[in-house]
Structure 1
Amino acid sequence: MSTTNTYLAVYLGGGKDGARMAAWNKLPEAERKAKEQQGMAAWGAWVEKHHDVIVEIGGPLGKTTKVDAKGAADITNLLTGFTLVRAPSQQAAAKLFENHPHFAIFPGEAVEIMPVLPIPGR
């Protein structure tokens, strides 16, 4: 995969105990289900609108295991999903995610955008 103009979008949540998730969980079940359907429809529309620049749709992320010099351990972080997009600049990539359903409808906190850099020496 060429990394030229490729950006990783990482979806962040506030965790199980975050204020947005707490408010989401307090919604009556019928209202929450309706928002879920609205959110998935909006997410599908976002994908359709940007299908020509999506390199990898990505998806939700599950539980995290951290591996370091001490070994492997289950940890908690705020990462909830990812998408790879192509854009002429980081600002242009970020613009794709303005008012994204992740935080405009769902209780997600933010989307962070970063360039995928070439491997040095390759």
Structure 2
Amino acid sequence: MPKFLFIYHAEPDFTPPTTEAGGQAEMAAWGAWMEAIGPAMLDAGEPVGKSRKVSAAGVSDVVENPSFGWSIIEAADMDAACAMAAGNPMVAGGGHVEVAEIMPLEM
């Protein structure tokens, strides 16, 4: 079955919860979503820190719409993977989930 990479993006003005209760509510939403995904969640992934952009022009701290984390899921096809991503807390919070099929290398 195909595997898909979910890359989590928030809006540029995103601010994480500033209270313990807000943080717990956010973690509960992520936990509920991951539970709904069930065994299709192959790797829950990790949050990521501030990123930098490397291009032919050099290195920049300005990254348009940076990622906040990633996961790897298994789904029948792209449509099924996108349906799983639709319930993600990033989507409910105004962000989005980038969904890309992982293409195995044939050597």
TM over 0.5: yes
- Distance of 2:64 and 2:44 partners within structure 1: 21
- Distance of 2:95 and 2:55 partners within structure 1: 28
Q: List alignment gaps of at least 5 residues for structure 1.
A: none
* Residue in structure 1 matched with residue 43 of structure 2 by the alignment: 56
- Distance of 1:66 and 1:52 partners within structure 2: 34
* Residue in structure 1 matched with residue 11 of structure 2 by the alignment: 14
TM-score by length of 2: 0.78
Shift of 1:7: 0.4
- Distance of 2:28 and 2:21 partners within structure 1: 11
Shift of 1:68: 4.3
Shift of 1:72: 4.4
Q: List alignment gaps of at least 5 residues for structure 2.
A: none
TM-score by length of 1: 0.70
Contact 2:33–2:87 (Cα < 8 Å) also in 1:
no
Q: Which amino acid aligns with 1:97?
A: A
SS in 2 for 1:64: coil
Match of 1:94 among 82, 87, 99: 82
Shift of 1:44: 0.8
- Distance of 1:58 and 1:73 partners within structure 2: 25
**CA-atom RMSD in angstroms:** 2.5
Q: Which amino acid aligns with 1:91?
A: D
